[in-house]
Amino acid sequence: MFTAFTFMGSDTACAQVEKTFQRTDSNGQIVQTPYVTYEEFQSVTLHRPDGQVPLRELLTVSSLDEVIRLLGDPQSVERNDDPDDASFTAWLHYDRDTTVEYHGFADGTLGITSIELRSPRWGLEIGSKRLSPGGDIADLDKTVRRSAVSGKLSKKNNKSGVGAIYIEQPNASKNEKVEPLMNGMTQFNFKTGKAGAIDVVRLSRIPSD
């Protein structure tokens, strides 16, 4: 699955994720991948049409009721129960297909596994920068932009791509090799269209214990 990731200011968009580490992509190529520190990840704020909530608070909820308390009433809720392991997955749908996915068990909660934003009325904020759908890839930091288009920047008629911004393990030493959180399974992703417009913003994650 994919997502769009854009930093939006009050009157312009400007991504500022400049830290990178090397990894091998699905094609076996060594690429420079942007990342944020765990401390930066912990400071992210989720903006909704009528307020905001610290992302770390949202990611520690232990029930669907808590999600709704923090984000407001969804337009609809889709739920799938698995009787084999007494687990369930629920999708809370908000405006313009903005979706929060929650997975839980009867004897213990796993929590939110993804937040997908498709409306410019929603956004993620790191520091003083706002991340929302609807931006232009040209306004992104070069490192972030290249993680999506993979060298296609010279092709003006095709700026589509899927990119990722990883999160560093907590308590990492500056002298040690960067290790992605949950082996990279918890990350921000983004997808852009052919004209370079950002379509979706998404956080996908595997909750830690």
Pull the structure tokens for residue 128: 């003083």
Please report, rounded to a whole number, the percentage of residues in the chain having pLDDT higher than 90: 30
DSSP state for residue 128 in the 8-state scheme: T
Single-letter amino acid code for the residue at 105: F
pLDDT tens per residue, range 90-119: 999 998 889 999 998 877 778 999 999 999
- Residue 29: is its pLDDT beyond 60? yes
How is 132-200 classified by DSSP, letter by letter?
-TT-BGGGS-HHHHHHHHTT-TT-TT---EEEEEEEBPTT--TTSPP-BGGGGTSEEEEEE-TTSBEEE
CA separation for the pair 133, 5 (Å, rounded): 7
Residue 56, H or E segment:
helix 55-58
CA atoms within 13 A on the CB side of 203: 25
- Whether the predicted pLDDT of 75 surpasses 50: yes
> Which parts of 37-83 are beta strand (E)?
45-48, 51-54, 76-82
Of all helices (H) and strands (E), which one includes residue 91? strand 87-93
Place of tokens 């405006």: 95
Specify the pLDDT at position 151. Answer: 46
Q: How far apart are CA 156 and CA 50, in angstroms?
A: 37
Mean pLDDT calculated for residue range 193-201: 81
Supply the pLDDT for residue 195. Answer: 78
Q: For the beta carbon of residue 208, count every other beta carbon within 10 angstroms.
A: 10
Q: Where are the domains of the chain?
A: 7-204
Cα–Cα distance measured from residue 100 to residue 184, given in angstroms and rounded to the nearest whole number: 20
pLDDT greater at residue 155 or residue 69: 69
Q: Is the pLDDT confidence value at 10 over 50?
A: no
| Element containing residue 55 per DSSP (H, E) | helix 55-58
Per-residue confidence (pLDDT) for residue 126, from 0 to 100:
67
Q: How far apart are CA 203 and CA 165, in angstroms?
A: 10
Given a cut of 90, whether residue 176 has pLDDT beyond it is no
